[in-house]
Chain A
Amino acid sequence: MRIADRASGLNALSVRSYNERLVLSLLLQNEGISRMEIGEKTGLSAQTASVIVRSLEQEGLVSQGEAQRGRVGPPTIPLSLNPEGAYAVGVGFSRRRIDIALIDFIGTVRFHTQLPADEANPFPQNNDLLATIRQAMTSLPVEARSRVAGIGLAVPDEVDAMAATGNGSSTSLKALQSEIEEQIKLPVFVQNDITAAAGGESMFGVAKPLNDYLFFYLGARLQSRLILNHQIYKGNSSASFDHGLMRLESELAMRGRSSEIIWSSSPEWPDLGEAYTEWLGECSNRLKASISALTQFVEFRTVLLSSYAPQKIAKALCADIGREFAAVQALPARVTISPKAVGAASLPFSSRFMIQ
């Protein structure tokens, strides 16, 4: 238990007690709850909750909301995570782009930009990436920069596969990790990109209240994760279906059309004609087949579809799924700006502030 800590900025890594993490995790799940509810949900005594909330308020991680007038007695003060209490940087590696995002404590993207990726050298130890991470941090006001909790890297599976072939990209991931740690002086966390995207959605998005759901990420490929009781399962094959945007790209190429727009972070695509319609139908069928296969074995009520691509695609696919399965609710994910980078940025938060 910290004693009346007057530190301005985040406390050291080692002193976050389990009970503090418990309270922070609870506030992440429930915005604007009272100390009494914290006590009820955690089993902590009123005094313990009082001490913990006080120290989290002092640290700037928790803030008091507007007093709520009840029927009797004084107004109740709701507590929430302070969005400005902590920040994190996430880097999402994809085939064509590297996304860099800075998020606040409640997952709002405060900075986002992209760098071109080089397939031959997926983890460039060049100053571009470092400079961009620094740029993300300096987008914050000076006094907030000490509140960046860490940096997360979301890394695709293909890279591990490539490492197995001995071109050494895994080694260079380690090298990149230590370079960032050394240069930026912050802890760096690494996770598989799709798992990270699902984690980000669980932490900040539609999946916040869900224990179990099926998660799809629509990127170059269509990939999935199954979440059971908050645990993210990868499946034992790195199954990813060739029905993602690479498929759309080849459909477009066959028709002699440019596909540049689909790799951008543009919120709208122009009309891509029948290539798009055809691809969307195939993608929808693939999703439905996966869901159908999985419902034989596990019970889940929610399917989430995450993508950086324009919202209207996820909405159309979810509507399709909804028509096919009465018992399943299909929803577009809430995190729409580079879900991989946001998921990566959630890693320092879960590691430093939340119960695992």
Chain B
Amino acid sequence: MRSVLCYGDSNTHGQIPGKGPLERYGPAERWPGILRAQLGPDWYVIEEGLSGRTTVHDDPIEGAHKNGRTYLRPCLQSHATLDLVIIMLGTNDLKIRFNKPPSEVAMGIGCLVYDIKELAPGPGGTTPEIMIVAPPPMQDDVKEWKSIFAGAPEKSRLLALEFEVLADSLELHFFDAGSVVSCSEADGFHIDAEAHRLLGIALARAVDAIGWSRST
């Protein structure tokens, strides 16, 4: 059986657009659940989605535990052995409090990749396959989040290219979520149930396209 870790933020956690962080789509509705159903019994799908998670930043307001880098190491070791790590982060790095350009968000992803390679939680102490997923661009109207995400929608549209440049240079698998889904109008930066379904199906195909030998 193969293992895939889905490492992300509220859009991996399954937070319902326009609702609070405690309101979440069900296990079978959110994209890792769809992925599980699509990939079938050969795969063990592990969900690690946290609302507010950044790539490498302690959040001075929401808490240091939102830092995706500090949590990734114990997380990788907890779930080893991993055949594949899917990372979909970056939206929270665009909060005005971090003041980061899109290119530096990609650098944050690069740090996570560095840590995965260093820990080598793949089969027999190897590097697992790594897939970077660019989050879908935010809507221009992010409702009451406008001040927190000032300038973010515009930056969010540049993440896919920056992430792909990173994926090319580090030789990683890449998928642009924006090619199949958009953020919900309800709050402008979360994805709804239908988008979870479409993303799960698309990612299952992307996972399959990596090519896995029959023996497990």
Contact = CB atoms under 8 A, between A and B. Distances in A.
Nearest to A46: B210
A50 B171 CA distance: 8
A75 B165 contact: no
Contact of B208 (A48, A50, A51, A74): A74
B39 A73 contact: yes
Given A6-B161, A72-B42, A47 B171 contact: yes
A47 B210 CA distance: 8
B173 interface: yes
B215 interface: no
Contacts, number: 78
Interface string A184-221: 00000000000000000000000000000000000000
Interface residues on B, range: 20 to 34
A1 interface: yes
Interface residues of A, number: 28
A2 B41 CA distance: 37
A228 B210 CA distance: 35
B45 to A, nearest CB: 12
Contacts of B42: 72-73
A82 B205 CA distance: 20
Given A35-B210, A50-B173, A74 B204 contact: yes
B162 to A, nearest CB: 9
Interface in A86-143: none
A25 interface: no
A40 B169 CA distance: 22
B149 interface: no
Contacts of A6: 161
A327 interface: no
A4 interface: yes
B41 A72 contact: yes
B82 to A, nearest CB: 15
B167 interface: yes
B168 A1 contact: yes
A74 B207 contact: yes
A72 B39 CA distance: 8
A296 to B, nearest CB: 46
A54 interface: yes
For B41, B167, B201, B213, the residue with the greatest tally of chain A CB atoms inside 10 Å of its CB is: B167
A37 B211 contact: yes
B48 interface: no
A4 B165 contact: yes
Interface string B121-150: 000000001100000000000000000000
A67 interface: yes
A67 B205 contact: yes
Interface in A16-63: 34-40, 45-51, 54-55
A350 interface: no
Nearest to B130: A47
B168 A3 contact: yes
Contact of B168 (A35, A39, A49, A55): A55
24 contacts: A1-B168, A2-B168, A3-B168, A35-B209, A35-B210, A35-B211, A36-B210, A36-B213, A46-B210, A46-B211, A47-B129, A49-B211, A50-B171, A50-B174, A50-B210, A51-B171, A54-B167, A73-B40, A73-B42, A74-B38, A74-B205, A74-B208, A75-B208, A77-B205
Minimum-distance CB pairs A-B, first 6: A36-B211, A74-B204, A4-B164, A47-B171, A4-B165, A3-B168
Interface of A: 1-4, 6, 34-40, 45-51, 54-55, 67, 72-77
Given A1-B171, A36-B211, 8 more contacts: A1-B168, A4-B165, A34-B209, A47-B130, A47-B171, A72-B40, A74-B38, A74-B205
